[in-house]
Structure 1
Amino acid sequence: MTFSWTPHRFSGGALALDVANSIVLRADPERRIDRFADASVMDAFPGGANRHGAERALFGPLEPVTNDARLGLIDLREAIDRHFRAEILGAGKPALLADLLEAIAAVLRRSGERPQALDTATARSALLLLARPEPDRLKICPNCNWLFLDRSRNRSRAWCDMAVCGNRVKASRHYRRNREDPRP
């Protein structure tokens, strides 16, 4: 099966969140899909982020990570997910913040002269998220469980992507309502 990085895959609103969202169905071990488990898919991620990512202008054209930096990117991805997910749920812990800062520091130390590399840009994006003035804008999609930034004026965005998750929830609600209340 071929896979492509479509606009929906970059609905997190920040590169760090899009990288964290590269695991589909994270909470379901039986159906969980790690998109970065395939090196060619990981290498294609920067191209998708260059086309569809919310921070593409901020970081410039992204480049794939080197082979020796792949594990560092995975460690950073997991630290981003653990820290920000806990913050959203009100269970943030200093140890999770320390883990995230250590993963960021490790990536930045290794990055050398590759500021456009995916791991370096992801670390910088995570730092920007940590410094954000409005932490309540960070949310978890109730449909797919992805992390996203709510940039709506009134902070009312409910899903990571209305065209995908919003429609699925609304269609499911419609189906249940019509099944329970069949009209002539």
Structure 2
Amino acid sequence: MANVKESRVQADADVGGHLVLNFVNTCGGAGKDRDVERLADWDGAIDWATANGVVDSTDRRLFGKVRSRKGRRPPDLLKDLTELREAAHSVFAAIAGGVLPSEEARLRLERDIVEAMHHSTLWIEGRAPVRWTVCPEKAGSTLIKDRLAISASELLSQPMLANVRECGACSWLFLDLSRSRSRRWCSMATCGNRAKAKRHYHTTRAT
């Protein structure tokens, strides 16, 4: 994965249709290479997590206290977060393609999910689906990573996992909820339009 510190221009910030898929889509450019990084630094990662509802202002204040107490450096926290992201991308992309994920990616994702559950409680409320809820006090500086790992675990256990697709042009993942289940592009505004322009170019040259 390259360390290109620039953002991909996109029309829809919720292309993935699920929190963990939006997370894996924070990396990747116009092609299949994971060569454009949107989480350039730890502050940027916190901003993304806040904008996507992973953490709130109270959680953000917690990070500084935990880092000063435990000596966790932002580059280390960012490295852990992006390694989770790439493992999740590898696993979900393999599922989308109907193949087995690599053992390395599966084990990494499994480890992060297990660690997140150690920092979580089982939330039971009436007849609503039971879910794991990460406790900020237990997770500390790994709160963002833990909540995203739990999100990955939830998608892996839901029927909608069968609707995960990889864009035909880039590496981004999304839930295909179209009636025909034949969606090809992460977004018509980006990859879809590029594909149409490419077809038009080749058709024009041929005629």
Fold shared by both chains (TM-score > 0.5)? yes
The separation in 1 between residues aligned to 2:51 and 2:168, in whole angstroms, is: 24
Verify: 1:78 aligned to 2:86, yes or no: yes
SS of residue paired to 1:24: coil
Over the aligned positions, Cα root-mean-square deviation in angstroms equals 3.3
Quick one: structure 1 residues 2 and 82, their matched pair in 2 at CA, closer, same or farther if it must change by over 3 Å? closer
Aligned pairs for 1:1-184 within 5 A: 3=7, 8-25=12-29, 27-28=32-33, 32-50=35-53, 66=63, 67=74, 69-93=77-101, 95=103, 96-109=105-118, 112-113=135-136, 117-181=143-207
Instruction: Tell me how far 1:17 sits from its aligned partner.
Output: 1.3
Instruction: Tell me how far 1:94 sits from its aligned partner.
Output: 7.9
TM-score, normalised by the number of residues in structure 2: 0.67
Q: Deviations over 1:27-56 (max 9, x none)?
A: 437xx1222233333232124424xxxxxx
TM-score, normalised by the number of residues in structure 1: 0.74
Note if contact 1:79-1:103 (Cα within 8 Å) is conserved in structure 2.
no
Quick one: structure 1 residues 91 and 4, their matched pair in 2 at CA, closer, same or farther if it must change by over 3 Å? closer
Quick one: structure 1 residues 73 and 8, their matched pair in 2 at CA, closer, same or farther if it must change by over 3 Å? same
Note if contact 1:11-1:161 (Cα within 8 Å) is conserved in structure 2.
yes
The separation in 2 between residues aligned to 1:16 and 1:85, in whole angstroms, is: 12
Q: Which runs of 5+ in 1 are unaligned?
A: 51-58
The separation in 2 between residues aligned to 1:5 and 1:101, in whole angstroms, is: 32
Instruction: Tell me how far 1:136 sits from its aligned partner.
Output: 2.9
Q: Which runs of 5+ in 2 are unaligned?
A: 64-73, 120-133
Number of residue equivalences: 171
Note if contact 1:72-1:106 (Cα within 8 Å) is conserved in structure 2.
no
Identity %: 31
The separation in 1 between residues aligned to 2:10 and 2:198, in whole angstroms, is: 23
Instruction: Tell me how far 1:80 sits from its aligned partner.
Output: 0.4
